[in-house]
Chains A and B, each alone.
Chain A
Amino acid sequence: MIEIRDVSKTFTLHNQGSAVIRVMEGASLSVAAGECVALTGASGAGKSTLMRMIYGNYLAASGEILIGGVDVVRAQPREIIRLRREALGYVSQFLRVVPRVPTLDVVAEPLLAVGVDRAAATERARDLLTRLRIPERLWSLSPTTFSGGEQQRVNIARGFAHAYPALLLDEPTASLDAANRDTVLDLIHEAKARGAAIVGIFHDAEARAAVCDRVVDVTGFSPQAAA
């Protein structure tokens, strides 16, 4: 489902003497449907950079990133927009939403975007928020005012609302208590069971061991290692 071939990444800092920073070379990775792969490596090794390239948030300098047949590196913006709407989900560490929108709508939005009717979308959103222990009295409020842990759980609920065939998870269990962590692990297991291909970053070794089938150390993709 996710096929990464020989991907490299450089940053050119035009306003700082045009310094060119090579951060990744020769990254290759394949994730099958129903499989969960963890990216590991020290801070700064490039885990998030690789994840952002898969999502199309960072532009890869070379190589191919195929998701369900679409090459994210070369696709037109509208193809990536469609891919993100229908096939590629991303749970980032930060919640970014229009202020003032109620939590229930924030979670239901990805379903409305793929044409699910409002009643069914809201039902799914209620179910996820309940499972992630967001008190019902908060559902009509904007999550921008919530605590960090609550925001993260809203983000997770939103990320799991639609059954994306490919899913990227950036630290989905960080800063969660044991009960909520178990819920997130259950959601990941359920996503795998329905055939989702998942790439994740987990600092929590126990959580990683519980859901991941394989571990890929991105240190192997650093330019020095390839040189």
Chain B
Amino acid sequence: MTPLLKVESLTKRYGARIGCSDVSFDLWPGEVMGIVGESGSGKSTLLNCMAGHLAPDAGRVMFDTRTEGLQDTITMSEPERRMLGRTDWAFVHQHARDGLRMNVSAGGNVGERLMAVGARHYGEIRDSAEDWLGRVEIDASRIDDRPTAFSGGMQQRLQIARNLVTGPRLVFMDEPTGGLDVSVQARLLDLLRGLVREMGLSAIIVTHDLAVVRLLADRLMVMKDGHVVEKGLTDQVLDDPQHAYTQLLVSSVLQV
């Protein structure tokens, strides 16, 4: 078996400052990996380098493409990388408005992604959009409403539908439950867990919420000052942390 994603010595500097330094790991099909660390630890920089939103200074991001196997997505051509972004990859932003077209209807937001990969039959596109709105628990009667008329939690679920409708194999998520009510968070977590299992998705989730990674992620990487200080099984890292910083992080969580 081949890893779905193979990250090798990924490094990004902002002038003299380190964004992320020498990060390497393999992600296997069906695995969910969490990346935690405080603000400024480099977790979003790392995510954006992997997803092709930022150009790293060094390292490789190898992805197991459907036709040619492992390919370095950093050196591949821009059209190839864009195609990957529309088909096999998805990116869920922390703020739904960054991942949605706010002046297009909910159905249009979902359908647009299908058209980008070649779907042309209007009825089928609309059916598919309706099906996905149902999966993320948005009532079909809202299909023609714009996201501006949706609550924050609904916008986030719509963003997930828009991202998953094309059946990606890898989803990058940046604080997907950040800024949501806890009750809405739980609903979203349940949804993501179900989708991961049913679609065999792999995901990389950046968050600072340790409870979220415990429930969603199989594996965990802990970052500090741009470096990965500890990685391993999620529950092992959280329950028996080996690194001083992870011990501090885990012991700093307020108990409910």
Contacts and interface: CB of A to CB of B under 8 A. Distances in A.
B218 A81 contact: yes
A13 interface: yes
Interface in A135-151: none
B197 A81 contact: no
A58 B236 contact: yes
A57 B239 contact: yes
A57 B240 contact: yes
Classify the interface of chain B: helix, strand, loop or mixed.
Answer: helix
Given A80-B233, A81-B218, A98 B186 contact: yes
Contacts of B190: 98-101
Contacts of A101: 190
B70 interface: no
A56 interface: yes
B244 A81 contact: no
A58 B237 CA distance: 9
Contacts of A216: none
A98 B239 contact: no
A57 B233 CA distance: 8
A12 interface: yes
A57 B244 contact: no
Interface in A119-159: none
A57 B237 CA distance: 8
Q: On chain B, which size bracket covers the interface?
A: 20 to 34
B242 A59 contact: yes
A43 interface: no
Nearest to B251: A15
Interface in B218-256: 218-219, 232-233, 235-236, 239-240, 242-244, 247-248, 251
A12 B241 CA distance: 9
A59 B235 CA distance: 11
B248 to A, nearest CB: 5
A7 to B, nearest CB: 14
A75 to B, nearest CB: 9
Contacts, number: 56
B13 interface: no
Given A14-B247, A52-B239, A98 B232 contact: no
Contacts of A210: none
Interface string A1-36: 000000000011111000000000000000000000
A96 B247 CA distance: 21
Contacts of B218: 77-78, 81
Interface string B192-224: 010001000000000000000011001100000
A52 B242 CA distance: 15
A78 B31 contact: yes
Contacts of A100: 186-187, 190
Tell me which of A58, A81, A112 has the highest count of chain B C-beta atoms within 10 A of its own C-beta: A81
Nearest to A78: B28
Contacts of A57: 233, 235-236, 239-240
A113 interface: yes
A130 B62 CA distance: 49
A113 B218 CA distance: 13
A101 B187 CA distance: 9
Interface string A163-197: 00000000000000000000000000000000000
A12 B243 CA distance: 9
A57 B247 CA distance: 15
A189 B116 CA distance: 57
A56 B238 CA distance: 12
A100 B248 CA distance: 30
Contacts of B104: none
Contacts of B248: 14-15
20 contacts: A12-B242, A13-B247, A15-B244, A15-B248, A15-B251, A52-B239, A56-B233, A57-B233, A57-B235, A57-B236, A57-B240, A59-B240, A78-B28, A81-B218, A81-B219, A81-B233, A96-B214, A98-B186, A98-B190, A100-B186
Given A14-B248, A57-B239, 4 more contacts: A11-B240, A57-B236, A81-B218, A99-B190
